[in-house]
Amino acid sequence: MKRVFSSTQANRLYTRMEKNFLRERIHTSRRDLAKVDRELIDLFYILTANMQPVDWDKIDGITYQNMQNELERTSARQKIKYEKLQPKTKPEYRISLEPARTVVNLTDKTLTTSEVTLLAKGGNFAITPKVVPVEDIIAGTEAAIRNLPNSIADEIRFETVNILRTAKAPKSNLSREEHQALKSLNADKDILVLPADKGNATVVMKSEDYRSKIEDLLEPQTYKLLKKDPTALIVRNTNRLIKASSLPEHLKSKLINSEAQPPRLYGLPKIHKASVPLRPIVSAPGSPTYNLAKYLTTILQPKVGNTNSYVKDSTHFVQKLKDIKLEPSDIMVSFDVVSLFTRVPLGESMDLIKESFPPDIAELFRVCLTGSYFLWNGNYYEQTEGVAMGSPISPIIANFFMERFEEKALESSVLKPAVWFRYVDDTFVVWKHGRDSLDDFLHHLNSQSPSIKFTMETEVNNQLAFLDVLVKRNGDLLDHTVYRKPTHTDRYLHKLSNHHPSQKQGIIGTLANRARPFLANGYNEKEIKAALAPRQRRLDVNEQNNTVNKAFLPYVSQVTDRIGKVLRKHNIKTIYKPTWKIKGCLRPAKDKRVPLSSVGIYRIPCSCGSVYIGTTKRSVGTRLTEHKRSCRLGQTDKSAVAEHALRDGDHKIQFEVTQVIATTSGYHPRLVREAVEIHKHPNNFNRKEETHYLNRIWHPAISRTKVAVQRSRPVPEEPPPEQATPPPLIEGGIKYALRRNCGGAASV
């Protein structure tokens, strides 16, 4: 059917009509076939009544053979037409990954085939959702269109609702056996599943061995055991320094924390080393100085990387190699700093910071560098030396210090290297003074600081590995190719992972871009570009400038990608977030967070059957404490929960079974998600004036969602007090109501 109109609604109508016409054509053909069958039966009766059996058998055989020939010709013709309709695809060349390389089992437990297949997919493998997350989609979409004109916003809402009303959850990308394997691995408390430090392998360790290796890392000279949690004290000190600084007021408001979570320590197994030690990593997001450290990194960055020795990445290193010419006696050497992050001298680093920044900003650096602590196994430790692996400021501080260190070391050396390139703690050197003097140079480097120590590796068979580049001699020039460590698994994001196709294509594009500098075997840039084309189209400058807003949506195939197309028509860019990943479904190696310590939307039930839906940018536990205080003090103007508890009737607020419904971040998405949950709970006792307005267009989409089951037990009624005398004063009445309805034994 020729399509005259090209709008979304018109295309939908055209598609519906084409399906109806096709359905009618099928019914008509079936009716015609039935009519022909009836006519053949009538003809059969006439012929058999007027012909001899021998003649009939001969005619019947000839007719049958003609029918078979016609059937074969027609089938062959239809198959040719069908093959022409199929898109031409190139043969796929699949290289299967070896499970023994991608899954390293360090336990005495024998993994099942399903467990190995599951873990071989990688921890970043996203599992398809069992239900369409309608609430999150509405929250993300509504937050993105809030600044659009009402007519355009309503049009987007209508189209999105039409998609959501017919949306179905995608088919699971895990088999039933793999789902069972995931549950089995998560339930086994004797093992831990961890990513390898390098190579992207998955490691299965004994929990006991993991704890023992972590405790071996906690050396008393580097880590000090604290008596209590220092989070609140660090928050107060950090906020005080931020307020007293010369930073702009709008920036101060973003950096100041009302509360924070302690950083948590975990380890990554180094499977490329004997005895498989752990690399300590501190998970810092949400910690007292995390946001401040991210900001300080941006202002320190321009002061780093201005030396001739600076190497940004592998591509930059390859470009620097082009200008090097070697003599036959030259030696390629690499120097590596031992545990640089935990050995960076904080005193010397702060002296360098004070030379580059005003005193108030230097104080902000100091609180980030000296406030390194973490939680491990229920205890709090302070890092007394170096910077923490995992803090945003650690890499750039290490780089900042090493630039001054190498400048001092090279200036004071009698014999200097011809080439000195450094990437953080790895150094590529060309040495022109012979092998005998190389050990003296190593000794000179190790004598510059009591905490900074180097190891050395020289070229073997005229080649040396640096980063992921294998540098090779070619006469007086240097060639290069890709270098992979023996533990490298060649595993990247799995094709079946529930990620948006653009994210998978981005990985391929990144690998292709990294491969360009290494394709130096006689191919020119034009040939390389032709081989890698066609590439994904990027937004030009005008399209980027016309982008109104961004929508952050969970990726659901055939649902949010269709919504993304609707938003794109109105210059709204969609960022697709993957759903649950395999690593998020397994038992974590880090300490568990305190219950109700997350932000988001929560639900407080009452014994009368009604609920309160709330939202907070702080922890739910903090907001819950405020509700309890308002109930205890009778502050009904500050809390709808207190107002409901003090009403006439039997109301028992069940604070002990408060549930976090969603951990939605971001101010506007959080408000919308709260409004969605309030609409889903018609038995709520929220105040109407405090509720974010939710457009009625969303109601049909919300109606197909289900309310999460409240996992709580009924609270028995309290027996009446022994002396139930009626209170003579209003204050006494409030006290009586508080004791009865809020469980408050404290006095007002």
- Structure tokens, 143: 């937050």
Long-range contact set of residues 345-348: C-beta below 8 Å, sequence gap at least 24: 345/401, 345/449, 345/451, 345/452, 346/370, 346/385, 346/386, 346/387, 348/401, 348/449
Q: What is the structure's pLDDT at 69?
A: 85
Compute the average pLDDT of residues 295-308.
Answer: 92
Task: For residue 234, give the H/E element and its range.
Answer: helix 231-244
Residues 6+ apart with CB under 8 A from 360: 241, 244, 245, 246
CATH 3.40.1440 domain locations along the chain? 600-703
Compute the average pLDDT of residues 197-206.
Answer: 91
CA distance 525 to 426: 30
Task: Give residue 315's pLDDT band: very low, low, confident or very high (50, 70, 90).
Answer: confident
β pairing state of 202-206 and 103-105:
parallel
The SS3 call for residue 493 is: coil
Compute the average pLDDT of residues 186-204.
Answer: 93
pLDDT per residue as tens digits for the range 398-447? 999 999 999 999 999 999 999 999 999 999 999 999 888 999 999 999 99
Place of tokens 């060639």: 479
pLDDT per residue as tens digits for the range 468-495? 899 999 888 999 888 888 788 888 888 8
Q: What is the structure's pLDDT at 546?
A: 58
Q: What is the structure's pLDDT at 671?
A: 93
Compute the average pLDDT of residues 17-24.
Answer: 88
Q: Between 53 and 561, name the one with better pLDDT.
A: 561
CA distance 241 to 328: 58
Q: Give the whole-number percent of the chain exceeding pLDDT 90.
A: 53
Q: What is the structure's pLDDT at 7?
A: 82
Compute the average pLDDT of residues 656-683.
Answer: 91
Task: Give residue 87's pLDDT band: very low, low, confident or very high (50, 70, 90).
Answer: low
Number of alpha carbons in the 13 Å side-chain half-sphere of residue 612: 25
pLDDT per residue as tens digits for the range 696-743? 889 888 887 766 544 433 333 334 434 333 333 333 333 433 344 444
Task: Give residue 548's pLDDT band: very low, low, confident or very high (50, 70, 90).
Answer: low
Looking at mean pLDDT, say which of 478-492, 507-521, 621-635, 713-727 comes out highest.
Answer: 621-635
Residue 196, pLDDT > 60, answer yes
600-703 CATH: 3.40.1440
- Cα-to-chain-centroid distance, residue 689: 36
Residue 520, pLDDT > 60, answer no
Task: Give residue 528's pLDDT band: very low, low, confident or very high (50, 70, 90).
Answer: low
The SS3 call for residue 279 is: strand
β pairing state of 572-577 and 549-554:
parallel
Q: What is the structure's pLDDT at 730?
A: 34
- Structure tokens, 546: 């016309």
Mean pLDDT of the residues in the chain: 84
Residue type present at position 294 = K
Residue 36, pLDDT > 50, answer yes
Compute the average pLDDT of residues 620-640.
Answer: 91
Phi, psi values for residue 497, rounded to 5°: -60, 145
CA distance 266 to 262: 13
Task: Give residue 516's pLDDT band: very low, low, confident or very high (50, 70, 90).
Answer: low
Q: Which residues of 618-638 are buried (b: 16+ CB within 10 A; e: fewer)?
A: ebbbebbebbbbbbbbbebee
Looking at mean pLDDT, say which of 505-509, 561-565, 702-706, 731-735 comes out highest.
Answer: 561-565
Q: What is the structure's pLDDT at 273?
A: 84
Q: What angle do CA 59, 63, 66 make, to 5 degrees?
A: 145
Q: What is the structure's pLDDT at 722?
A: 40
CA distance 561 to 568: 10
Task: For residue 485, give the H/E element and its range.
Answer: none
pLDDT per residue as tens digits for the range 257-294? 888 999 999 999 999 888 899 999 999 999 999 999 99
Q: What is the structure's pLDDT at 537?
A: 47
Contact 640, 700 (CB under 8 A): no
Q: What is the structure's pLDDT at 512?
A: 73
Residue 143, pLDDT > 90, answer yes
